[in-house]
Amino acid sequence: MEEDFYATIKFKSGEEVFARVAASEEEDRTMLVIHNPVMIVELKSRSGMTAYKIEPWLKTTKDDMFIINLDDVITLSESFDVEMMVMHQQYVHDNDLGTHNSNKINRRMGYISSVTDAKEILEKIFKNSPKKT
């Protein structure tokens, strides 16, 4: 197995992930062992500022290592971007501690209501709004 490195991987499916990667030769094919793959979502504010959100590649599993056949990859680009590596390491650290997405809903975040209550309020607003002709 080769030494680990950080890379962005573009799959034939169109998915793009950032992960720590190691290549492995298995018989007559090359496999990639990817650790903690994440998807990076770019968020732009109205003021033009850009931020990044890190999401897990697979949301319904707790596994952190996956084996990928190189035949399923369009391209792989080794990353030397220190900022991306730090964001990935922080995500992995938070995930290991169980602090990722651990915000609890409270009233300071906004009004909490049931679906029925919200529906009634929205219907009242709609009925009382001026009609356009």
pLDDT, tens digit (0-9, with 9 covering 90-100), for 9-41: 999 999 999 999 999 888 888 899 999 999 998
What is the rounded CA–CA span in Å between residue 34 and residue 7? 9
| pLDDT beyond 90 at 133 | no
Distance CA 2, CA 92 (A): 21
Using CA atoms, how far apart are residues 118 and 17, in angstroms rounded to an integer?
38
Q: How many CB atoms lie within 10 A of CB 10?
A: 14
- Whether residue 6 contacts residue 34, with contact meaning beta carbons closer than 8 Å, is answered with no
- Report d(CA 57, CA 73) in Å as an integer: 15
Across the range 96-125, mean pLDDT stands at 71
> Tokens 């952190």 appear where?
64
Average pLDDT over residues 46-55: 88
Nearest to 37 by CA among 107, 92, 115: 92
Q: For position 101, what pLDDT does the model report?
A: 53
Considering the chain, what percentage of its residues have pLDDT values greater than 90? 43
Phi-psi bin for 110: left (phi > 0), alpha (psi -120 to 50), beta?
A: left
The residue that leads in pLDDT, 110 or 83, is 83
**Cβ atoms 38, 91 nearer than 8 A:** yes
| Amino acid 104: pLDDT | 65
Structural domains in the chain, sorted by start: 5-104 (2.30.30.100)
Q: Which pLDDT belongs to residue 66?
A: 94
